[in-house]
């Protein structure tokens, strides 16, 4: 792992954990209930994008090694037919949900920083995947959006 990736991981951990703690400490139950409920709905949606990749990789990725991410084949079905980076999307959705639940500037700022790191990580991950899977990953990139799950669902349903 490169020094840059280690620093990004440390910063992401600090901002993500900081955002969760700040959201817990700064929660205002008297705030707009519609916005709070929307935030909780987004967090629930994040669970789908956070957990399904584990099962999808294990069942379809011909995993070699201890980690479910050590796939030997390109997985482009299941949740991966909707977005290329569902677990990064889950992180972004959690950041968004926490920001809506509290609507406090500290929680929002930490969420924006985490968003940026997650998005940057998708680019690094894509470079690794192109190197590992070659032209088949490039074709996959053309079919499936990086993080836009609404566009991914529309494309999936139109196929």
CB 66 within 8 A of CB 84: no
Domain count, the chain: 1
Measure the CA–CA gap between 101 and 51, rounded to whole angstroms. Answer: 22
Residue 73 scores a pLDDT above 70? yes
pLDDT tens-digit profile of 92-110? Answer: 999 999 999 999 999 999 9
Domain, as residue range, for 83: 3-158
Per-residue pLDDT at 79: 95
Per-residue pLDDT at 1: 66
CA atoms within 13 A on the CB side of 155: 18
* Confidence (pTM): 0.91
User: For position 7, which CATH number holds?
Assistant: 1.20.120
pLDDT tens-digit profile of 115-136? Answer: 999 999 999 899 999 999 999 9
């Amino acid at each position: 792992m490169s020094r840059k990736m280690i620093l990004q991981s440390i910063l992401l951990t600090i901002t993500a954990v900081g955002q969760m703690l700040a959201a817990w400490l700064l929660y205002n139950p008297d705030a707009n209930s519609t916005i709070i409920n929307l935030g909780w709905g987004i967090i629930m949606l994040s669970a789908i994008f956070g957990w399904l990749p584990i099962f999808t990789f294990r069942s379809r990725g011909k995993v070699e090694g201890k980690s479910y991410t050590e796939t030997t084949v390109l997985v482009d079905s299941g949740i991966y037919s909707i977005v290329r980076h569902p677990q990064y999307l889950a992180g972004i959705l959690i950041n968004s949900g926490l920001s809506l639940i509290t609507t406090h500037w500290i929680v929002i700022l930490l969420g924006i920083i985490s968003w940026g790191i997650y998005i940057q990580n998708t680019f690094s991950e894509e470079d690794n995947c192109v190197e590992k899977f070659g032209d088949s990953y490039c074709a996959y990139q053309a079919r499936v959006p990086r993080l836009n799950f609404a566009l991914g669902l529309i494309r999936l349903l139109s196929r």
